[in-house]
A and B are shown apart, each in its own frame.
Chain A
Amino acid sequence: GQNIDQPTEMTATEGAIVQINCTYQTSGFNGLFWYQQHAGEAPTFLSYNVLDGLEEKGRFSSFLSRSKGYSYLLLKELQMKDSASYLCAPMDSNYQLIWGAGTKLIIKP
């Protein structure tokens, strides 16, 4: 079967760094997306990894290891507005995104 494993909830302090881990199992693999979803809103695209390694985009970076079925999202210089759910979504062999419940990130002052 296909599944995604992310922590349900994480707490971090404003200004700090947090790493959100994601392990996945899919039927085939065509890359992995990270989305941010604020409460009551639709998801917004953060990053896409298809090759192994780290992709950096401003305060956010995403890492992928295809052999381990593992990815993480790294958020630096945390701001209060970063409080949201973060969704790890691998794409399977049919180019369908597989969705889990995501990780709710709580930022404290």
Chain B
Amino acid sequence: GAVVSQHPSRVICKSGTSVKIECRSLDFQATTMFWYRQFPKKSLMLMATSNEGSKATYEQGVEKDKFLINHASLTLSTLTVTSAHPEDSSFYICSARGTGAQETQYFGPGTRLLVL
């Protein structure tokens, strides 16, 4: 399958700081990228969908000013958690999909964020 990388894999930060997570599709062009959050033993929760070159579409209840998403190229999307708080501690996972809407979403390895 296609390869999606995510960086960093793990980050610990102080409350109030901002954290940027990068998601890259390594061997295909990702027209659409998705950002998910997953709490322990819970299902994946879609936060936002981003299409290259346009603004991200956020799911209900997700603050767009807190979770800034940029999808500047066909291989890179970034999620910035601004002014992080302990309740933002979670497993953040990106996925990427090619040009066809029915194409498979391939997931990055995820970023584990711990806010102290």
A interface list, Cβ under 8 A from B = 30-31, 33, 35, 40-45, 48, 50, 87, 91, 95-97, 99-102
Q: Is B109 an interface residue (CB 8 A)?
A: yes
A67-B13 Cα distance, complex, nearest whole Å: 49
Majority-rule SS of A interface residues: loop
B interface list, Cβ under 8 A from A = 1, 6, 41-46, 49, 91, 93, 101-102, 104-110
What's the count of A-B pairs with C-beta under 8 Å? 45
Q: Is A30 touching B107 in the complex (CB atoms < 8 A)?
A: no
Given contacts A35-B107, A45-B107, A87-B43, 4 further A-B contacts (CB under 8 A): A42-B6, A43-B107, A50-B102, A99-B43
Query: Which among A31, A87, A101, A102 is the interface contact of B102 at CB below 8 angstroms?
Result: A31
Chain B's nearest CB lies how many Å from the CB of A8? 10
A95-B98 Cα distance, complex, nearest whole Å: 13
Q: Is B104 touching A101 in the complex (CB atoms < 8 A)?
A: no
Query: Which among B41, B93, B102, B109 is the interface contact of A91 at CB below 8 angstroms?
Result: B102
